[in-house]
Amino acid sequence: MPTNGEHPVVHVLWINAGLSCDGDSVALTAAMQPSIEDIVLGVLPGLPKVVFHWPLIDYQNGEEFMEWFWMASRGQLEPFVLVVEGSIPNEQIKSEGYWTGFGNDPKTGQPVTVNEWLDKLAPYATAIVAAGTCATYGGIHAMEGNPTGAMGVPDYLGWSWKSKAGLPVVCVPGCPIQPDNLSETLLYLLNQVAGNAPMIPLDENLRPRWLFDLTVHEGCDRAGFYEQGQFTKEYGTVECLVKIGCWGPVVKCNVPKRGWMAGIGGCPNVGGICIGCTMPGFPDMFMPFMDEPPGAKISSRTVAIYGGLIRSLRSMTLHTVDKETKWRHRGPALTTGYRPTW
Amino acid sequence: MTMPSQGPSGKLVEMNWDPITRIVGSLGIYTKIDFEKRKVAECKSTSSIFRGYSVFMKGKDPRDSHFITSRICGICGDNHATCSCYTQNMAYGVKPPHLAEWIVNLGEAAEYMFDHNIFQENLVCVDFCEKMVKETNPGVWERAAKTEAPHAAEHGYRTIGDIMKAVNPIEGDFYREALMMSRLTREMFCLMEGRHVHPSTLYPGGVGTVATVQLFSDYTTRLMRYIDFLKRVVPLHDDLFDFFYQALPGYHEVGQRRILLGCWGSFQDPEVCNFRYADMTNWGRAMFVTPGIIVDGKLVTNDLVQINLGIRILLGSSYYSDWQTDEKFVTHDPLGNPVDGRHPWNQTTIPMPQKRDFDEKYSWVMSPRWYDGKNHLALDTGGGPIARLWSTALSGLVDIGYIKATGKSVVINLPRSASKPEARFEWKIPKWSNTIERDRARSYFQAYAAACALHFVDKALQELRAGRDKTWESFKVPKDAIGCGFTEAVRGVLSHHMVIRGGKIANYHPYPPTPWNASPRDSFGTPGPYEDAIQGQPIFEENPPDKFKGIDIMRTVRSFDPCLPCGVHIYAGGRVIEQVHSPFHFEEKQR
């Protein structure tokens, strides 16, 4: 094992072949705090030497690239952090074929499913990061009526799963992830692996607390309009958007405060309704997106007088949308409402 | 894993690369190579992922469709969201305010600038970098190091070798500069559409973006910095690509296929476009990138209605059951033209997961084709830019000062910027539809998009200064309606087709560029464009089979800008004669 001073080289193995759009890989290239170059070139103090095996930008191809994953599956790559992008389909609901594969099985010549990779790699990983809402909770591909039985990594491995280093699955939701939210979580974990940081603080849905403790509304610069009871009925105005579909009051996400990149962009702060894309209940519990959320009627009417009551009403709604829908699970039955044709 | 002990002569060798990296999504390449004749003998194309958008969108609220379809793609999701809003505008009969359309155009222009830039410099160019060329063609590297770059004064690199060094991954200074630039253009995008890559501010009827003076100042200052950068990018790539033609005579045959290009047009002109199907021929021709189908260098049509009616979805080698016995959703278009049963409006997606069998069904990708009345043409997009520039040039309709289409070229005029004087670039219709020309067009189209953006900023400010600052128009979702949208995703043609019944989505079928390019053999046995372009291409790599990297094949595949969240593999079919997987070079990375 080559080392960099006293620290071993940390490998980051990235599987982008969950049911994904690769939007989290692409978003990571937008990160600047830190940037991917900062991490790879080791320009941050205390950072161990890191080698990425990341399909989006990797120099290597094919078996040469896959061999790192095979080595890891034999316990020959130590330590490594596994990043999973995309939801995990249910491969048990059909007799043959695959919903998604990553590399080939040298024995059969058939694709190795992402599920098989999780089974092979999870025992050896120092940490597993679920990047984006698909990997964390199932996301868009786990929508009602989906044919693949898609679910999140914790649904697949079990919510109480712990790595050999004692880490739960680290979930960084967002559709896609806010770029710096992911790069900063990776930075934290690399520092933890190097012994520079204590256990990463996570909430009950395995999100880093410092990124996901507050709601969209609590960080939204349109909250002043809410307070003044100014609610727009049209898109493209400066007032509060809750009456035209914004779920900000009950969604845990820091985007309005952090912006999308370099403080620019976002959602309700720039005129886009919050559709709850960081939440376990996304997307079903927020659809139809452009309708007023059911809880908004009472809360926006009574806001000024009953602040305390509003907080408790909101926490009830938050509790509901902070849970996944019931059809995201393992097992031979498909319960999404889709009638299999195979 | 078998490896040949010696270079085979007169034998075909099966080689595969799976997954192909430096693209979006999971792609694999399987080829059968004749090392004696130095040619790729055979090739097939297959996909490894199914998600089922058309399946789970059924029964949902039609207004959710742009939020949902954006998630199809993680690098051009906004193209889907835009296309879906176009489709919804048609179905709901709503015309957004002009300012909203200029804002969408500015967002989409930034997307082209960002995406072509990062793909070209950080993903494609690694195949042309010092490290790679040294490993695959040491002779070419020696020559590059000694060859003066003709446009050194413009881009600052003295030799071709210096350019190759500058694009080495992470270490190369141009590689890193381009990556930073891809963030600047994404900031421009976020100004207009809220978030990259799944926008927050796009809606049917317009945008939620608040149009202020500051919005356009923030955009334009960044645009001018990008334009300054572009004045180095275009000559740099001309030098690099021209060098390959000189250093490797015959390199124009790499990735060459018959000229069969499709472009569905991009950037609506709000002064003409009303999103009515009946007027689509007219507003389609007014787009700032002209739609067109080009066969053997000739323009077949630039009429979006004809383009729409000719689309056919074939199955052939993909893992689906046929839907032809199901009911037809749309028998005639709003103009009364009959609509085929294999048209996306009438398609039903019926997944049938099964083992991969290269002699039978081997792909999750279907085979879109364009029916010209006689043949089902396997059109490609060439990764987008080559088809867009070719189509725009031939039609000769675009003339906005910053851009003029001449009938045989496209002239792009860029104003003075921080470190460079005014610049005039001319993209001329090339002799070939091949790997190098697909890549070259990608640099020119960045300049095209930037020049368009200058025009759109002018137009948007005119609206704003006249006090017309509304960016959204209200609408009602009809009980029953149909809609279609056409645009250019970054890597080529994009269409959405929707049928609404009872106020819900009864059918929704998006066709992005990758199914066109990456399709497997269709029901007539016609290979898809990747298969076709790779099959028969020459091999210039100097390495023997046991060290073969397949660089010429990689360059061809990447020239199409594969965007494979819908997943593709390429396989050289037939009997296994000798099987080799790509070789290992572990010493290059620390374990």
Dist. CA B260–CA A127, nearest whole Å: 48
Q: Give pLDDT tens digits for A25-68.
A: 999 999 999 999 999 999 999 999 999 999 998 998 888 899 99
Under an 8 A CB cutoff, do A267 and B200 touch? yes
Report the largest interatomic distance among the alpha carbons of chain A, rounded to a whole angstrom. Answer: 69
Query: What percentage of chain B's residues is helix, strand, coil (to nearest 5)?
Result: 40, 20, 40
How confident is the model at residue B4, as a pLDDT? 38
Q: At CA B399, angle to CA B395 and CA B401, rounded to 5?
A: 155
Closest CA of chain A from B447, distance in Å: 22
How far apart (Å, rounded) are the C-alpha atoms in residues B326 and B331? 13
Give the model's pLDDT for residue A298.
64
Q: Find the DSSP H helices in B209-344.
A: 213-247, 280-285, 304-310
Q: Tell me the torsion sign for CA atoms B507, B510, B511, B514.
A: negative
Q: Is B195 within 8 Å of A267 when comparing Cβ atoms?
A: yes
Chain B partners of A144 at a C-beta cutoff of 8 Å? 56
Query: Residue B45's pLDDT is what?
Result: 74
Q: Which residue of B has its CA nearest to A174?
A: B198
**CATH domain A3-210 topology:** Rossmann fold (3.40.50)
Q: What tens digit of pLDDT does each residue of A283-339 get? A: 999 999 999 998 776 666 666 556 777 778 788 888 889 999 999 999 999 999 999
Q: Which residue has the tokens 């080829």?
A: B31
Structure tokens at A177: 């992830």
What pLDDT score does B586 carry?
31
Chain B environment of A66 (Cβ under 8 Å): 18-19
- A111 Cβ under 8 Å from any chain B Cβ: yes
Give the pLDDT confidence score for residue A304 in this predicted structure: 53
Assigned CATH class of A214-307: few secondary structures
Between chain A and chain B, the number of residue pairs with CB atoms below 8 A apart is 306
Dihedrals φ, ψ of A28, to 5°?
Answer: -60, -30
Q: How confident is the model at residue A1 (pLDDT cuts 50, 70, 90)?
A: very low
**Nearest residue, CB atoms, B72 vs list A21, A58, A175:** A21
Residue of B nearest to A101 (CA): B48
The reply to whether residue B123 touches residue A57, judged by beta carbons under 8 angstroms, is: yes
User: B73: helix, coil or strand?
Assistant: coil
Determine, for residues B194 and A342 on separate chains, whether the beta-carbon distance falls below 8 Å.
no
Structural domain boundaries in chain A: 3-210, 214-307
pLDDT tens digits for range A161-211: 999 999 999 999 999 999 999 999 999 999 999 999 999 999 999 999 999
Residue in A with minimal Cα distance to B194? A265
| pTM for the model | 0.94
Q: Is A26 on the interface with B (CB under 8 A)?
A: yes
A9–B64 C-beta distance less than 8 A: no
Q: DSSP state, B587?
A: G
Instruction: Give strand pairing partners of A200.
Output: none
pLDDT digits (tens), chain B, 591 positions: 233 334 444 689 998 887 878 888 767 778 899 999 999 999 877 777 888 899 999 999 999 999 999 999 999 999 999 999 999 999 999 999 999 999 999 999 999 999 999 999 999 999 999 999 999 999 999 999 999 999 999 999 999 999 999 999 999 999 999 999 999 999 999 999 999 999 999 999 999 999 999 999 999 999 999 999 999 999 999 999 999 999 999 999 999 999 999 999 999 999 999 999 999 999 999 999 999 999 999 999 999 999 999 999 999 899 999 998 777 999 999 999 999 999 999 999 998 999 988 888 888 889 999 999 999 999 999 999 999 999 999 999 999 999 999 999 999 999 999 999 999 999 999 999 999 999 999 999 999 999 999 999 999 999 999 999 999 999 999 999 999 999 999 999 999 999 999 999 999 999 999 999 999 889 999 999 999 999 999 999 999 988 999 999 999 999 999 886 643 333 432 233 444 444 333 333 333
Span B226-283, pLDDT tens digits: 999 999 999 999 999 999 999 999 999 999 999 999 999 999 999 999 999 999 999 9
Distances (CA, A) of A185 to A170, A249, A265: 9, 25, 21
For B288, the 3-state DSSP assignment is coil
Judged by CB atoms within 8 Å, which residues 292-331 of A form the interface with B? none
Q: Is A235 on the interface with B (CB under 8 A)?
A: yes
Q: What are phi and psi of B183, to 5 degrees?
A: -80, -40
